[in-house]
Structure 1
Amino acid sequence: MSIQHPANPELWQGRNSQEIEYWHQAINFETSAGKKQVALLGYCGDEGVKRNLGRIGAAKAPDEIRKMMATMAYHLPESLKVLDLGNVETVSEDMESGHQLISEKVRGLLQGNIFPVLLGGGHDLAYAHGKGILTHLKDKNERLGIINLDAHFDLRGLNDGKGHSGSPFYQLSQEFPDNFQYLCLGIQKAANPTSLYRHAFATKTQWMDMEEFRLENWDYIASLLNTFCGKVNKIYLSIDLDGFSSAYAPGVSAPSATGFTPEIAFKVMEWLALTGKLISMDVVELNPRYDQDHKTARLAARCVEFMLRKMYVRQEE
């Protein structure tokens, strides 16, 4: 069983002004025809993290991200409407029904030409999210490229026949073998055993190790992105906050002292915005229980704000 809770307007609080200058002033709660639209949808789920033996607490993440977004300065064009659709909550251990609901929601948003931004929650969200996108594209003869900024492949097999936060891309590769194009940036050897590299080779996954995923190596990174994105029509971006160094993202289920920096992640996001191929995105694995001064929640909020600004402000210029 899963529940979709409506958006909570009380989360969107901040400094007031006579014109729209902050996100809390710009957020909407109902769709409207005739405008470009972006929809925020939260995933309050810890079951996948629990099954993967991670630190529990990610279910509280979506509302924490909203609180950080609320006070940010708003620079998106008037022609764009940003919606808050509330949260899908996993009840008890029934993660699968929540995944089904999210897939249906994502598919419906894309059919309505609304850009989904999903806020997690465990990275098992990527299975539900990706399934919704791939189902939407199934009859359109379009190829999807999945780009994951992450320390982990998340290509683990199922546990007792059940998915978890380490298996989303494995599940997508099994269900959509003819349309599985996957690039993971920021992989850490210490976080991925040999079996996962075998899964990566078996699924024709492409990746870049964290040691190479650095700003001074940008020309090579851009070349890799160009080759990968040149073979697909649409791109789904997943940002796992545990890929960042714990200096920037301490509040995650699996922190890493040697992860990548926001500078290189934002450089990739800007590059992807310029392709015009991005169809959906998510930010996952925030764990407010272990955050420090809302540092990780603020980073998650900035990832969303930056990506949307680079996509839509440029379109208006």
Structure 2
Amino acid sequence: MIPLHQNPAPSLWTGRPAETIEYWHQAIITVNDLAFNESSDSKKIGILGYEGDEGVHRNGGRIGAALGPDAIRKVMGSTAYHLKKGTQILDYGTIQTENQEMESSHALISKSVSSLLRTKHFPVLFGGGHDLAYAHATGIFDYLKGKDEKLGIINLDAHFDLRPKVNNQGHSGSPFYQLSQEHSSHFHYFCLGIQRAANPSSLFETAKQTKATFIEMEEFQINKWDLIQEKILWFLDSVNKVYLSIDLDGFSSAYAPGVSAPSPLGFNPDLAFKIFDLIASSKKLISLDVVELNPTFDQDQATARLAARCTEYILRKVFG
């Protein structure tokens, strides 16, 4: 076994039995290593978990996000399956943070994401803390190196996650700041759902300095869809490829109680799913992650189910 890598557990993928493929658990292929295969010409989805709480701990959040990947898998297994025939879904297991060595797990995630893209997979990563975004995007930038492509990062989140490192260490609040510093001329970032109460003025100044685009929660409402749509379409038109990151703490805690930083004033699924439609229809989406699920504080698996529904819906729009 590769250090920090845990093979996938087929027992997590369970659901109602059926003679044909009707549920996700029937379509999943578990792979016991990270030697990604390019031999198949069929469309492939590569699932990778991130069992990491260290970034959340460093950022002062509620511990428990490391349990997120398996909780999403359990719910996904019983979800009805509607992807196009011939689509392969491969679960490559989970990368763990051991002994607070977050940077080591990040390096392996970045390498794995780059390899997934090179071998014609659509990466789907389940977190774990939002520090995952730094490792995830680093892998995408590595894959795009030398290519005439412009990557856009869209983040659904209550927070900018543009905080600087602490003691020269990254954390769950710093991923996009780190990316802005390391890829300053290629950093194109759009954050949806920003809450003033959760972001001090210094972060708005950082957003201005990094030329980040954002929509605040007061404007991020379904009754202002025309304006939201216009801004998203403008951003999509300005880039060639899109990486989508979904931080579950951006949703209202009425829908997502099981997160590291819950908020009653977040957005609702109706608006989020309209945005997923818009992004998927652009044909530019190349990678996805869902982060900050904290099963320790979830209620009746509501947040895990939301994470699974977001993932299933986006993949159905891309591969259906």
Alignment-derived partner of residue 11 in structure 1: 12
Alignment-derived partner of residue 110 in structure 1: 117
Q: CA separation of 1:206/1:2 partners in 2, compared to 1, >3 Å: closer, same or farther? A: farther
Across the two proteins, how many residue pairs are aligned to each other?
A: 313
* Matching residue within 240, 251, 257 for 2:264: 257
Output one character per residue of 1:131-159: Cα deviation in whole Å (capped at 9) or x when no partner: 00011112102110000000000000000
Alignment-derived partner of residue 196 in structure 1: 203
Alignment-derived partner of residue 25 in structure 1: 26
**C-alpha contact (below 8 Å) 1:2/1:94 kept by paired residues:** no
Q: CA separation of 1:297/1:54 partners in 2, compared to 1, >3 Å: closer, same or farther? A: same
Distance 1:201 1:100 in 2: 29
Matching of residues 14-163 of structure 1 within 5 Å? 14-30=15-31, 33-163=40-170
SS in 1 for 2:190: strand
Distance 2:96 2:250 in 1: 24
Greater shift, 28-37 or 222-231, is seen at 28-37
Alignment-derived partner of residue 303 in structure 1: 310
**C-alpha contact (below 8 Å) 2:9/2:30 kept by paired residues:** no
Alignment-derived partner of residue 226 in structure 1: 233
Instruction: Supply the RMSD in Å over aligned alpha carbons.
Output: 1.0
Structure 1 alignment gaps of length 5 or more? none
TM-score, normalised via structure 1 length: 0.97
Amino acid in the other structure paired with 1:277:
K
SS in 1 for 2:21: coil
Distance 1:175 1:244 in 2: 29
**C-alpha contact (below 8 Å) 2:82/2:316 kept by paired residues:** yes
Distance 2:16 2:111 in 1: 36
**C-alpha contact (below 8 Å) 1:45/1:58 kept by paired residues:** yes
Alignment-derived partner of residue 237 in structure 1: 244
Alignment-derived partner of residue 297 in structure 2: 290
SS in 2 for 1:286: coil
Alignment-derived partner of residue 174 in structure 2: 167
Alignment-derived partner of residue 247 in structure 1: 254
**C-alpha contact (below 8 Å) 2:72/2:307 kept by paired residues:** yes
TM-score, normalised via structure 2 length: 0.96
**1:41 CA displacement:** 0.3
User: Which ranges of 4 or more aligned residues in structure 1 deviate by more than 4 Å?
Assistant: none
**1:214 CA displacement:** 1.2
**1:29 CA displacement:** 2.0
**1:2 CA displacement:** 5.5
Structure 2 alignment gaps of length 5 or more? 32-36
**1:63 CA displacement:** 0.3
**1:9 CA displacement:** 0.2
